[in-house]
Amino acid sequence: MTRTLFSTNGWPYRGNLHGHCTHSDGINDAAEVVRMYCEAGYDFTCLSDHYWTDPRYTADTVNDTSSLDSADFITIMSAELHCRGKLYDQDNLWHILANGLPLDFPMAGETETGPELVRRAVDAGAFVTMPHPEWYSLTTEEARSLAQAGAHGVEIYNHASAIGAGRGGGVGTIDQLANEGFRVLIIASDDSHMVPEDAFGGWVMVAADRLAPDSIIAALKAGRYYSSCGPDFTMIQLDGDQLHIACSPVSRITVPAGGHRAFAASGDGLTEATIALEGRDFDFFRIELTDAAGWHAWSNIFWLDENS
């Protein structure tokens, strides 16, 4: 039986889930950020300004950008939430990305923990992810605690961290959690603070039924999207052990799986491939595309017990 794991069903919506403006520590005002993302071909962006008590770089309100929405471009109310207790952070602060957050979401208290803040944001309806795990040395124990609290996913690529600190990845955190059985989703983002210098480097392509915040957030929670720095997926199907992938031209298609298992296909200008997932001695797999310029795209994780 052939199962479609992902299909664009027409053109999906392109968006940035993690960005900042002058509401916190960005250099561009919100209207300028929206204009530039719109001109760059995006359908939505999230002004996820830092939400905490330090006036040097944080705001004390969730940024209301709804007045900047139009028929063909929207913003989604978001924030980068902070609370105390993070190891290996100079400010001892957790960073928690929450998209689709109510404007009246209360700031974290002095004694609130990272897992407690995640649970509260999830309960408020937000799509909650762990940003830049490599950038601020998120430990396995810390990541596990946020996953246990209900965090939906992890950044696999943070553009600002990649170009500014050489610490833009998240593969280790994602695969460790998956090997422990946590069904986390995967996002790529900009974490832009000074558009365009640190923008347009990582995004999500969301197969939502309409361009509206509730539809985008529902599709994100359901995993109906992929993440990219360049290449595009158009179709992913699983027929028994045969994985069929269609995409924009790439030079390599890699399928990392549970444990240290992996499969791959390579060639010039590959637009499709069928890869045999031999052995079935693993619980999950994901797909990574690499184009000729070295840019990547990532599927979400697929679990065999859901797609057998």
**Cα(first)–Cα(last) distance of the chain, in Å?**
9
Token pair listed for 299: 């599927």
What's the average model confidence in pLDDT over 55-67?
97
Distance CA 12, CA 14 (A): 6
Residue 63 pLDDT greater than 90, yes or no: yes
User: Any idea what the Cα angle at residue 226 is, between residues 17 and 264, rounded to 5°?
Assistant: 140
Of 233, 228, 275, which Cα lies nearest the Cα of 256?
275
Residue 73 pLDDT greater than 90, yes or no: yes
Q: Residue 76 has what pLDDT? A: 98
pLDDT-derived band at 278 (thresholds 50, 70, 90) equals confident
CA distances from 290 to 113, 123, 133, 200 (A): 38, 36, 22, 17
Give me the count of residues in the chain: 308
Output 216 or 307, whichever has higher pLDDT.
216
Distance CA 33, CA 28 (A): 6
Q: Residue 31 has what pLDDT? A: 98
Output 256 or 6, whichever has higher pLDDT.
256
Output 275 or 2, whichever has higher pLDDT.
275
Residue 30 pLDDT greater than 70, yes or no: yes
Of 48, 44, 51, which Cα lies nearest the Cα of 16?
44
Distance CA 75, CA 37 (A): 11
Distance CA 228, CA 248 (A): 12
- Report if pTM > 0.75: yes
**Domains, the chain, with CATH or none:** 10-228 (3.20.20.140), 233-306 (2.60.40)
Residue 265 pLDDT greater than 80, yes or no: yes
For residue 275, the tally of other CB atoms under 10 A from its CB is 18
Residue 157 pLDDT greater than 70, yes or no: yes
Inter-residue contact 15 to 43 (CB < 8 Å): yes
Per-residue pLDDT tens over the stretch 77-86: 999 999 999 9
Report which residue type is found at 262. A
Report which residue type is found at 111. T
Q: Residue 38 has what pLDDT? A: 98
Q: Residue 10 has what pLDDT? A: 66
Residue that has been written with the tokens 């045999």 in this structure: 276
Residue 308 pLDDT greater than 60, yes or no: no
Distance CA 223, CA 243 (A): 18
Output the average pLDDT for the chain: 96
Q: Residue 1 has what pLDDT? A: 72
